Amino acid sequence: MSGSRSSPLPDGAFRPPFRQSNLTAVLSITGSTVIGTTFRALTIMNTHGYELNLWLAWLWIALGIVSGMLLGLGFHHEGWLGGYGSLRRRLYRLGHISFFGLALLNLCFFFTMRQVGMGSGPGAIGSWGFALGALTMPFCCLVMAHWPRWHLLFAVPVSSLTVATIATLWGLAGGVTF
């Protein structure tokens, strides 16, 4: 099927099993904005991988606001989640603030890619690394708040963010594209 349709992806590249036009009928039946937004985000990944980081950044800002509101409902109780200095409460706060911090990292990455661009290798590694770090950090905070022995789980978000940062710096410095 080489050359039979115009696509920004090279021949042989991964293509999701759906297209935006195929989703229109499904979405008109369900009438769900959330489903439409989710599939649109997946369709965007078909053309520009780093746009995932823009979507994730805004979703994380929204989740940071909602999680702050939920945490704010109990903070006035002195012994809530074991008191202000307890490990559980500190990790809940860290999870809440990580939504905002990692949203900003993903937003910075998106604008860096939009302004400068870089090779597909460092760009893809950076995009997926920042996304993985954002997705796993709040989860790790929540898990560790209840099961402190799982502290090594933090290696997942920390290492993915580290690799993403190194790949981005490598790409900005004009490193080898792979």
pLDDT in tens, 33-55: 444 444 454 444 434 568 899 99
Question: 117 and 57, same structural domain?
Answer: yes
Question: 70 and 129, same structural domain?
Answer: yes
- 48: which 2 tokens? 């520009």
Question: 78 and 25, same structural domain?
Answer: no
Query: Residue 177 falls within a domain, yes or no?
Result: no
Last residue of a domain, one of 9, 32, 47: 47
Question: 125 and 65, same structural domain?
Answer: yes
Question: 142 and 109, same structural domain?
Answer: yes
Question: 84 and 2, same structural domain?
Answer: no
Query: Residue 178 falls within a domain, yes or no?
Result: no
pLDDT digits (tens, 9 = 90+) for 70-110: 988 887 778 877 788 888 889 999 999 999 999 999 999 99
Question: 71 and 133, same structural domain?
Answer: yes
Please give the pLDDT value at position 20. 41
Question: 99 and 60, same structural domain?
Answer: yes
Please give the pLDDT value at position 49. 66
Domain that includes residue 11, residue range:
1-47
Question: 98 and 24, same structural domain?
Answer: no
Query: Residue 41 falls within a domain, yes or no?
Result: yes
Banded pLDDT at 120 (limits 50, 70, 90): confident
Question: 54 and 8, same structural domain?
Answer: no
Taking the complete model, does pTM exceed 0.85, yes or no? Answer: no
Question: 143 and 112, same structural domain?
Answer: yes
Is the per-residue pLDDT at 10 higher than 70?
no
Alpha-carbon torsion, ordered 168, 174, 176, 178, to 10 deg: 50
| Domain count along the chain | 2
Buried b (16+ CB within 10 A) or exposed e, 7-22: eeeeeeeeeeeeeeee
Give long-range contacts, CB 8 A cutoff, 24+ apart: 83-88.
87/145, 87/148, 88/145, 88/146
Query: Residue 139 falls within a domain, yes or no?
Result: yes
In the numeric block, the tokens 């050359």 are attached to 3
